[in-house]
Structure 1
Amino acid sequence: MILTLTLVQDIGNVPAAEWDALAAPAGLYLSHQWLAAQQHDPTAQVRYALVHADSRLIAAAPLYVVDSEPNALYRVHDLIPDRTPVRTLLAGARRGYLNAPLLHPRLTPDRRREALNQLVKAASSLAAVHEAQPWWLYVADTAAAELADACGTKSVQLGEDARIPLPGSTFGDYLADLPSKRRVAIRRERRAFAEAGYELRTLRLSECADPAGALLAQLQERHGHPADPAFMARLLRDQAEGMADSGVVLAAYAEGRMVAFSLFYRHADTVWLRATGYDYARLRGAHEYFNLVYYLPIEDAYAHGATALHLGMESLRAKTLRGAVTSPLWAIGGAGRTVRPGRL
Structure 2
Amino acid sequence: MILTLAHDITDVPIAAWDALAAPAGLYLSHRWLAAQQHDPTARVRYALVHDDGLLIAAAPLYVVDTEPNALYRVHDLVPGREPVRTLLAGARRGYLNAPLLHPSLTPERRREALNRLVAAAGSLADAHQARPWWLYVTGTAAAELADACGTEPVPLGQDARIPLSGSTFDDYLAGLPSKRRVAIRRERRAFAEAGYDLRTLRLSECADSAGALLARLQQRHGHDADPAAMARLLHDQADGMADTGVVLAAYADGRMAGFSLFYRHAGTVWLRATGYDYARLRGAHEYFNLVYYLPVEHAYAHGATALHLGMESLRAKTLRGAVTSPLWAVEGARGHQE
Q: Report TM bin, short chain.
A: over 0.9
- 1:122-147, Cα deviation, whole Å (9 max, x unpaired): 00000000000000000011211000
Equivalent residue for 1:271? 269
| 1:158 CA drift (Å) | 0.3
> Normalising by structure 2, what TM-score?
0.99
Equivalent residue for 2:93? 95
Equivalent residue for 1:207? 205
Residue from 35, 39, 42 that aligns with 1:41: 39
Equivalent residue for 2:296? 298
For 1:303, the aligned partner's letter is: A
Residue from 181, 186, 198 that aligns with 1:183: 181
Q: Is 1:21 matched with 2:19?
A: yes
Equivalent residue for 1:258? 256
Equivalent residue for 1:82? 80
Measured in 1, the distance between the counterparts of 2:117 and 2:80 equals 27
Measured in 1, the distance between the counterparts of 2:335 and 2:328 equals 19
For 2:14, the aligned partner's letter is: A
Equivalent residue for 1:165? 163
The within-5 A match list for 1:305-316 is 305-316=303-314
Measured in 1, the distance between the counterparts of 2:47 and 2:249 equals 39
Measured in 1, the distance between the counterparts of 2:144 and 2:333 equals 15
- 1:73-97, Cα deviation, whole Å (9 max, x unpaired): 0000011111100000000000000
Matched-pair contact (CA < 8 Å) for 2:88–2:134: yes
For 1:292, the aligned partner's letter is: L
Moved more, 331-340 or 139-148: 331-340
**Structure 1 runs of 4+ off > 6 angstroms?**
none
Matched-pair contact (CA < 8 Å) for 1:159–1:329: yes
For 2:298, the aligned partner's letter is: D
For 1:82, the aligned partner's letter is: G
Matched-pair contact (CA < 8 Å) for 1:192–1:287: yes
Residue from 219, 231, 234 that aligns with 1:233: 231
Q: Secondary structure at the match of 1:275?
A: strand
Q: Secondary structure at the match of 1:326?
A: strand
Measured in 2, the distance between the counterparts of 1:95 and 1:300 equals 24
| 1:337 CA drift (Å) | 7.7
| Structure 2 portions without partners, runs of 5+ | none
The within-5 A match list for 1:147-158 is 147-158=145-156
- 1:204-232, Cα deviation, whole Å (9 max, x unpaired): 00000000000000000011111000000
Measured in 2, the distance between the counterparts of 1:266 and 1:280 equals 28
- 1:208-265, Cα deviation, whole Å (9 max, x unpaired): 0000000000000011111000000000000000000000000000000001000000
Matched-pair contact (CA < 8 Å) for 1:44–1:65: yes
Measured in 1, the distance between the counterparts of 2:141 and 2:319 equals 27
Equivalent residue for 2:134? 136
Residue from 56, 62, 65 that aligns with 1:64: 62
- RMSD over aligned CA atoms reads 0.8
For 1:271, the aligned partner's letter is: V
Q: Secondary structure at the match of 1:208?
A: helix
Matched-pair contact (CA < 8 Å) for 2:126–2:335: no
Measured in 2, the distance between the counterparts of 1:322 and 1:9 equals 42
- 1:46-90, Cα deviation, whole Å (9 max, x unpaired): 000000002110000000000000000000001111110000000
Q: Secondary structure at the match of 1:83?
A: coil
